[in-house]
């Protein structure tokens, strides 16, 4: 891979946005073009005929790509706006592109991201389900998400009404991380009633979309979005889903992608339970009723973020890490309290806590607290 792809500069990012926005190109074709020609700028500098021949498409497509490359105002404005709203694009060639997402069929070449990316997001479980859940499903969803989040597992969902929103809410209450995958542009909050939840997720996790700025939610976006929810996750939990539910589309992606699939049993005879109960009857999904059961089924996969044996040797710590570790000698503390006592900035402390958690010496607790393992 060329260095121009691994460390893509602004001109190449602008060129890539121009290429992928061309009608009829899409993820796979834009990726093929860039890797065949060497970089997005190399694509735009190639003759239209060579581009069309490489893609096996009419000459008009090659000409359209070149035309968009000459008029890059929209792409430039996109990058400028991303900076203004505190977001960024991550390309499939970047080192911080989610490794699991890269392995699915037709992975997005560009993802729009708001929030802080973290290697801990590799240890994720998705929770999805109906937009109109029963009271029991609401309680179970919040509890499962909270239980997963409180031990360091990232919770992923789609920020829709119902189960999705409850999954994010439960994860935030657990003091851990959560990721929302949108079916609209990253700057288009849908549903609008989730505006406050969106902001909280950005501060305590990440919002992701493959759709460009300003793109409104369309019905066909959500099935596509669901492949990303599953693709980012190690496992998927389905809570209350009808036979034609979008959550069952996520379940299908989970099966195709080789992910662990779990389902919470629903009341017999109710349409909104029919989908999950069929998954359980078919033996497609494992029956669970708590986050602890998910953890037990996936302990080996989630081990790096779960509580580890106290008999492990303490890894070497730098001076600031040692300060944090010593402050936690008497028990877990709020992150805000650690900031006050250590006089280390909140951004730096969060990065240090992530590093120390990966080393297996810290764990997260409910209520935005951390403590020694």
Residue 109 resides in a domain: no
Q: Output the DSSP codes for 194-219.
A: GHHHHHHHHHSEEEEESSPTTPPP-T
Q: Which of 215, 199, 225, 169 is nearest to 86 (CA)?
A: 199
The answer on 276 and 128 residing in a single domain is: yes
CATH number at residue 327: 1.10.10.10
The answer on 293 and 202 residing in a single domain is: yes
Residue 246 resides in a domain: yes
How many domains would you assign to the chain? 3
Q: Is the pLDDT of residue 3 over 70?
A: no
Q: Does residue 180 contact residue 203 with C-beta atoms inside 8 Å?
A: no
Rounded Cα distance between 10 and 323, Å, is 39
Rounded Cα distance between 61 and 19, Å, is 10
CATH number at residue 188: 3.40.50.450
Q: Is the pLDDT of residue 332 over 90?
A: no
pLDDT digits (tens, 9 = 90+) for 280-328: 999 999 999 999 999 999 988 998 887 543 334 567 788 888 888 888 8
How many residues make up the chain in this entry? 373
Residue 128 resides in a domain: yes
Rounded Cα distance between 209 and 181, Å, is 6
pTM equals: 0.82
pLDDT digits (tens, 9 = 90+) for 24-61: 888 999 999 999 999 999 999 999 999 999 988 889 98
> Residue 271 sits in which domain range?
115-302
The answer on 223 and 195 residing in a single domain is: yes
Residue 309 resides in a domain: no
The answer on 153 and 207 residing in a single domain is: yes
Rounded Cα distance between 115 and 129, Å, is 24
The answer on 226 and 265 residing in a single domain is: yes
């Amino acid at each position: 891979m060329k260095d121009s792809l691994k460390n893509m500069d602004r001109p190449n990012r602008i060129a890539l946005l121009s290429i992928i926005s061309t009608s009829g190109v899409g993820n796979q074709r834009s990726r093929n073009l860039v890797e065949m020609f060497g970089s997005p700028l190399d694509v735009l500098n190639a003759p239209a005929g060579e581009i069309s021949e490489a893609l096996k498409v009419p000459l008009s497509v090659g000409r359209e790509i070149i035309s968009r490359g000459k008029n890059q105002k929209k792409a430039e404005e996109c990058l400028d706006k991303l900076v203004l709203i505190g977001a960024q694009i991550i390309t499939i060639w970047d080192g911080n592109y989610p490794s699991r997402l890269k392995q699915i069929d037709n992975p997005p070449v560009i993802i729009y991201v708001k929030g802080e990316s973290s290697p801990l997001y590799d240890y994720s479980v998705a929770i999805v389900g109906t937009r109109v859940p029963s009271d029991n499903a609401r309680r179970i969803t919040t509890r499962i998400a909270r239980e997963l989040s409180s031990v360091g597992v990232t919770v992923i969902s789609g920020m829709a009404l119902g189960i999705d929103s409850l999954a994010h809410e439960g994860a935030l209450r657990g003091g851990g991380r959560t990721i929302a995958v949108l079916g609209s542009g990253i700057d288009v909050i849908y549903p609008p009633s989730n505006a406050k939840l969106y902001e909280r997720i950005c501060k305590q996790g990440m919002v992701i979309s493959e759709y460009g700025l300003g793109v409104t939610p369309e019905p066909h976006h959500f099935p596509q979005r669901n492949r990303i929810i599953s693709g980012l996750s190690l496992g998927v939990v389905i809570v209350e889903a009808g036979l034609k539910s979008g959550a069952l589309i996520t379940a299908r992606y989970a099966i195709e992608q080789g992910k662990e699939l779990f389902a919470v049993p629903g009341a017999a005879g109710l349409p909104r339970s029919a989908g999950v109960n069929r998954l359980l009857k078919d033996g497609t999904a494992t029956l669970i009723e708590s986050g602890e059961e998910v953890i037990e089924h996936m302990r080996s996969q989630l081990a790096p973020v779960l509580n580890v044996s106290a008999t492990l040797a303490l890894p070497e710590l730098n001076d600031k890490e040692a300060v944090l570790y010593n402050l936690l000698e008497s028990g877990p503390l709020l992150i805000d309290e650690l900031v006050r006592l250590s006089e280390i900035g909140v951004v730096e402390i969060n990065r240090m806590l992530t590093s120390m958690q990966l080393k297996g010496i810290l764990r997260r607790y409910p209520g935005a607290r951390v403590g020694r393992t």
